[in-house]
Structure 1
């Protein structure tokens, strides 16, 4: 495997003292360790690097012994697959022994270790993920990934159909990477292979599909890729409930500036689903966390109370009832719905109303009811449902008064209701 060029200057993360120490320890006694995958790809694209992965021709047990001998923490994160994670000064480097696939079934592979860098590259999913980088900046490109990075072309390594047959999830990774990095029409061979094997997607574990879809939805503008997936017959197998793609496009346009650094994939997921029933089905099938499920279904409830003409008191009352996060979600989703259903026809006053609502949510501090259960019991109300019922009545009166009554007024109202 011949080098193609040298990176000069080195990316900052390569020069990190902790990374240097880990790489030196892993190579002590012979063998090579090279960075691979996303850290190399993102550095070439001048994008932030979150995770540092490396490959080596040294066996995992020996890598672990060397790291520990250097006083560095070694975590056996995947010894069965040849992976060790080295941790120093809160920096993690995941090091995996070079591998070849012996047998695959579309979900998992039986592997064998090798010392052939080019063979390891051939088993990887996409060309842009199969570049190796020496600690001194020497770059290796065994499958033509550098040209694909430079042109924004997402392409499978070798035969697209074979790569997908090895792991069907790669089908979704193809679209996810196209959404994030693609700058030209999708690779025809890859797209054709995705069309062919899309019916196999439901055989995958729900959480694997979830992770890919949420990462895709975190792209700067995921809507064109979702349209592409629908045209290719992939979306009907990956997420058949996704019926409102125009709303996703509208939402992305609306939140572009505010979400530039951190898009909200769950809100974007809600935008393409029809109702709370579909949201619950998706949450179950994709194994969303309880918090994600609850937020998703809350976003998909009818937004009848979201009225761009609402006055300040009505806005505050709704904010108090549902919380600022759900309120903000519903405002943005209702705004996106209007834009998608009536493109170019949303009156200026309506859009101005939505902006006012968002501003109200941004500055919202939830007031606290000035009385509590102890105050009710001090009036002789026995512990139990009667206390909660009485406080609910006081709270409703307090809300109708725009949260203005102070503790003295609330105590008086509580006493009045208690009889």
Structure 2
């Protein structure tokens, strides 16, 4: 993210919500939903994260609508217009309206009757301010009507301008309603670079043990989202100092060098940045103990794909390569088989983890830049051709010859079938 984008996020201008772009037309569809509810006699407004993002000049990933209509009434209104509805969260007041092929959540205004730190029992209401009171952060507690008017009951716009992370009301009360809000704070900090004050951080530290009652899947999701962020240094330091990182990963401290490595990783794709940073943290805790790392990743309920990426990134025989970069190519193939990029993700991570192997990594990077796409295609010489055209004999020697040809193919030493056969003849002659 460039400096101008950062400044725009931290200092959103007045009227940004009205000026934000709508590249996929979802904002227009959200307005249609609002207008449909208003024509039926109900109030309806955009709610939460989409309002925040529009004020920041960011295209929202999702649009949510809050309304005074009850769940059954929402269904009736849209069915009368022959618009599909799906009761995705009827008990909590959420109906998915499918309009122009796009799903959009429409939720009745609510108030909390009781909470236990994981889930809430709600009652439906008619007050937008009361609904805002139950939300987590001030910048997530705003609404926007169809005319672009912002309804901000707790200073969310001022907090956006100040780059400030603040809970609605009393921090500890909001946290005790849902302990996952502790990790959501660090996620938003990492995403936007907004910072909480000392009182808010102290509330996270004091209530951290409440995370023990939250499901592992929810904790891991928030952790991985945090590790993807553009502003990782300060939130990760604070997670360590408040004891939160110890609760979720068993890490009490993070040396400044490791923090700088994570912050300096030049990985543009966020979905790859998170696993790479996780690998650094796991290496910090467990060193070269692959079994311990794999066991913790299973405890975290990470997908097999992410587990494989982390293991492939950490356990590479760089110290055994000598001067032969071809040995690492199988590792690169296995990495890219997981759908990730070597040049964009694994190479920057290896440079951060293994600076002492700069020379061999430079060589591998050069080979990849020149021959990477071609060398991943099928080697154009097989055993049958070697026997029929080069006089190779079946047996172990043929297997060794094929392996050597593949190795040299990876390094770009030959490129065509004829070149491969000529090299094979030379190798057979040399072996005699």
- TM-score category (smaller protein): 0.7 to 0.9
Over 3 Å counting, the alpha-carbon distance change for 1:278 and 1:128 in structure 2 is farther
CA distance in 1, matches of 2:94, 2:385: 60
- TM-score, structure 1 length as denominator? 0.80
Q: Which residue in the other structure is 2:404 paired with?
A: 397
Name which of structure 1's ranges 87-96 and 45-54 shifts more when overlaid on structure 2: 87-96
- Which of residues 220, 226, 230 is equivalent to 2:240? 230
Deviations 1:178-221 (A, max 9, x none): 2222444x222211111011123233211101111111111112
State the match for 1:315 in structure 2: 325
Q: C-alpha separation between the residues in 2 aligned to 1:229 and 1:188?
A: 13
- Structure 1 residues 140, 74: closer, same or farther in 2, change over 3 A? same
SS at match of 2:41: coil
The reply to whether residue 213 of structure 1 matches residue 226 of structure 2 is no
From 149, 159, 162, the counterpart of 1:151: 162
SS in 2 for 1:272: helix
Which residue does 2:307 correspond to in 1? 293
Q: CA deviation at 1:141?
A: 0.7
RMSD: 3.5
The answer for unaligned runs of 5 or more in structure 1 is 340-345, 379-386
1:261-410 alignment runs, 5 A limit? 264-274=273-283, 275=288, 276-304=290-318, 310=323, 314-323=324-333, 325=336, 327-328=342-343, 329-338=345-354, 354=361, 357-358=364-365, 360-361=367-368, 364-365=372-373, 366-370=376-380, 393-402=400-409, 404=414, 406=417, 409=421
Q: Which of residues 75, 89, 93 in structure 2 aligns to 1:78?
A: 89
Alpha-carbon offset, residue 367 of structure 1: 3.4
Per mean C-alpha deviation after superposition, the further-off stretch among 9-18 and 165-174 is: 9-18
| Mapping for residues 3-22 of structure 1, pairs under 5 Å | 9-13=18-22, 16-22=27-33
Contact 2:110 2:131 in 1 (8 A): yes
Hey, which of these two has a bigger chunk of helix by percent?
Answer: 2
| Corresponding position of 2:9 | none
1:139 to 118, 142, 150: 150
Q: Please report how far the alpha carbon of residue 34 of structure 1 lies from its aligned counterpart in structure 2 after TM superposition.
A: 0.6
Equivalent residue for 1:202? 212
Q: What CA distance in whole angstroms lies between the structure 1 residues aligned with 2:210 and 2:395?
A: 52
Given the two structures, how large is their TM-score scaled by the length of structure 2? 0.78
Contact kept, 8 Å, 1:251 with 1:332, in 2: the verdict is: no
Aligned counterpart, 1:164: 175
CA contact under 8 A between 2:228 and 2:273: conserved in structure 1?
A: yes
Q: 1:71 to 1:361 in 2, by over 3 A?
A: farther
Shift, 1:284, TM fit: 1.1
Where 1:175 maps in the other structure, the secondary structure is helix
Runs of at least 5 residues in structure 2 that lack an aligned partner in the other structure: 1-13, 389-393
1:194-253 deviations in Å (ceiling 9; x for gaps) = 101112323321110111111111111212211111111111002215865633532432
Distance 1:8 1:153 in 2: 19
In the comparison of the two structures, how many residue pairs are matched?
386
Mapped partners of 1:144, 1:108: distance in 2: 26
8 A Cα contact 2:34 2:65, kept in partner? no
SS, match of residue 282 in structure 2: coil
